Chains A and B, each alone.
Chain A
Amino acid sequence: AQSVAQPEDQVNVAEGNPLTVKCTYSVSGNPYLFWYVQYPNRGLQFLLKYITGDNLVKGSYGFEAEFNKSQTSFHLKKPSALVSDSALYFCAVRALNFGNEKLTFGTGTRLTIIP
């Protein structure tokens, strides 16, 4: 079974400060890892992915995430937060196993950037 934990329901950050949204995962075998963002009454928008290679991956809107295999973590980061980054963020995992197609999501973290 695969699972994702996002330990913080809510993260508040002052505008201009760095932000981190935490994610840990559990999967059999190697993981594919993803971050998605959801704005109110909208769909899930892809931000970035880790498949293989460099542990630091860069994505849309200045976001990046670091894959840490020993800690089974994939935290989302941004050096300087914008008010427009306020949204619901989901981490997701899919095991790199033939026949496993399921993408499992965490419970989401609501990020609020304070002006």
Chain B
Amino acid sequence: EPEVTQTPSHQVTQMGQEVILRCVPISNHLYFYWYRQILGQKVEFLVSFYNNEISEKSEIFDDQFSVERPDGSNFTLKIRSTKLEDSAMYFCASRREAAFFGQGTRLTVV
């Protein structure tokens, strides 16, 4: 069964450093998302991406965040200058109707 894959599973970074989280969506899906979850609590929407551009973003998704689909298969989330409060589990998802989520990247900013 096709699935969304995310790498790395765990990333530790120093405050102020840039991180790139990577995702490979399901191949015939057209819509892509990034969500985050802090401490196993609420799942927060960050951004949606369709037809090679951002279709919607939340107030969390400020200028420090960016997304890219560089090669038609990967979908990346970049955080330019990480803050302590960026520590969270980041989930990538893709969909046709229902969204399917990856296993997540646990980002720890120290």
Contact = CB atoms under 8 A, between A and B. Distances in A.
Interface of A: 32, 34, 36, 38, 40, 42-46, 49, 51, 88, 90, 92, 99-105, 107-108
Given A101-B48, A101-B50, A46 B100 contact: yes
A85 B27 CA distance: 30
B59 to A, nearest CB: 12
- Secondary structure at chain A's binding surface: helix, strand, loop or mixed? strand
8 contacts: A34-B98, A36-B101, A42-B103, A44-B43, A99-B55, A100-B56, A101-B55, A102-B48
B31 interface: yes
A43 B97 contact: no
The 10 closest A-B pairs by CB, nearest first: A101-B48, A105-B43, A44-B101, A43-B103, A43-B101, A49-B98, A101-B55, A101-B56, A43-B104, A107-B42
